[in-house]
Amino acid sequence: MSDLHAGSRSDRLDRAIHSLLAQTPEIEAAAVVSFDGLPMASALPPSMDEDRVAAMSAALLSLGERAAQGLGRGELSQVYIEGETGTVFLVSADNEAVLVAVAAQGAKVGMMLYEVRRAAAAVADALRADDAAHEAAPPAVSAEPVLQAVPSQPEHVLQAVAEPSVMPAYTPSVAPDGGWSSSYAPTGSVLPGENPSWS
């Protein structure tokens, strides 16, 4: 199991965010927020309030979705805001949540978008990991007995098996013309030593 899929959902989201910050020094802060504006995970400086960032991000996303649909542009995939001292990216994590990333001034926008989209895909995977594990697990099957009880035999059947065979014995004899003939004895054993006609 990879590190991304180990631990609780909260741990996986924290790892996805901190991986983005470690690989992209130009990104100064990041957070994962739900579509209704609640924080799920964040790595923010003390100057940024987690609840306020989540609420503003959800409002911007909602406004961007209405604008995209109202202008016939289809589903919203990202929001990009450029300010005097840096940029803000809001990228959908595959309809699971929203990744918010704040980049420093002078950061390469193309590279930042690439890294934020990769991190958003990792966030979506982290959120869906438990669901995939439950779907992949086979349903519990109750153990069935391998051997079934054999019904007991009636007493007269057991006695018949224990007694000697009552099948007629095959007794060869010499015919008057010198050839072989056969006859069946009504009782007796099939073993040569126990049949008197063979001695």
Residue 92: beta bridge partners? 98
Question: Do 128 and 171 fall within a single domain?
Answer: no
Phi, psi of 92 (to 5 degrees): -70, 135
On whether residue 146 sits in a domain, the answer given is no
Residue 145 lies in a domain: no
Residues 67 and 112 in one domain: yes
In a domain, 166, yes or no: yes
Q: Are residues 15 and 84 in the same domain?
A: yes
Write down the pLDDT at residue 184: 47
Can you give the pLDDT at residue 197? 54
Regarding whether 62 and 7 lie in a shared domain, the answer is: yes
**183 and 85, same structural domain?**
no
pTM for this model (two decimals): 0.62
Q: Do residues 123 and 170 share a domain?
A: no
Q: What is the mean pLDDT of each run of 10 residues along the chain (199 residues)?
A: 62 92 94 91 92 92 89 87 92 87 92 93 86 54 53 54 51 55 51 53
Could you tell me if residue 38 is inside a domain? yes
Q: Which domain holds residue 60?
A: 3-133
